[in-house]
């Protein structure tokens, strides 16, 4: 069995008290000496006063967007299989689903605090008719809005919003976005 060492630093009275609490001795009274190599014995390393100032650790390095994107899950086959229903764009249905999934992955990264705001999604040549809202001041649950009026009523002014939202031309893409964001349940409003 290997040797384990624990060091307790601080003012002697407080260090002794802490050790007694750890060992379950309570009371705050000095413990009688133990044999040198017995389990639970300890040595006083130093009785010098230790500053109570907390030690500051270096700030963790922020992830780059490329590092974050490298952790994204691939789009599930079940979503890609449904993509054949999408048409009317210069992008294929599969490309549109992958686009929505990736936007959802960025939304998730924003929601968990890995980034301040999700990456912009490449522009699509179709007008959005469905609006997926992951987070906004006007809701408590992720919400799919089926009209721009409902969406703007919830989100308000985007320039001052901390919301995470995205518009899509189809409900299928909106659902792929939510799935990419890890959202399985959401409200739907007309």
Same domain, 27 and 87: no
Residue 94, in any domain of the structure: yes
Same domain, 91 and 184: yes
Same domain, 174 and 144: yes
Cβ proximity of 161 and 127 under 8 Å:
no
Q: What is the pLDDT of residues 72-127, one digit of tens each?
A: 999 999 999 999 999 999 999 999 999 999 999 999 999 999 998 899 999 999 99
Residue 78, in any domain of the structure: yes
Q: What is the pTM of this model?
A: 0.68
- Provide the domain count of the chain: 2
List CB contacts of 155: < 8 A, sequence separation 6 or more: 133, 136, 138, 161, 163, 165
Cβ proximity of 177 and 77 under 8 Å:
no
Same domain, 29 and 95: no
Same domain, 70 and 37: no
Residue 60, in any domain of the structure: no
Same domain, 118 and 171: yes
Residue 58, in any domain of the structure: no
Range of the domain at 49: 1-53
Q: What is the dihedral of CA 18, 21, 26, 30, to 10 degrees?
A: -40
């Amino acid at each position: 069995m290997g040797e384990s060492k624990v060091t307790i630093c601080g003012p002697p009275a407080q260090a002794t008290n802490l050790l007694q609490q750890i060992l379950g001795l309570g009371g705050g009274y000095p413990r009688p000496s133990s044999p040198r190599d017995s389990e639970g014995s300890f040595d006083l390393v130093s009785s010098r006063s230790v500053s109570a100032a907390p030690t500051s650790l270096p700030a963790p390095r922020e992830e780059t967007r490329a590092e974050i994107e490298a952790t994204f899950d691939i789009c599930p086959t079940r979503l890609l299989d449904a993509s054949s229903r999408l048409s009317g764009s210069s992008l294929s249905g599969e490309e549109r689903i992958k686009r929505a999934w990736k936007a959802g992955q960025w939304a998730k990264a924003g929601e968990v605090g890995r980034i301040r705001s999700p990456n912009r999604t490449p522009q699509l040549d179709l007008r959005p008719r469905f609006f997926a809202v992951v987070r906004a001041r006007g809701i408590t649950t992720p919400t799919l809005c089926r009209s721009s009026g409902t969406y703007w009523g919830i989100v308000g002014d985007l320039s001052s919003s901390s919301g995470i939202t995205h518009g899509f031309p189809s409900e299928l893409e909106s659902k792929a976005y939510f799935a990419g964001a890890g959202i399985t349940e959401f409200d739907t409003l007309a």
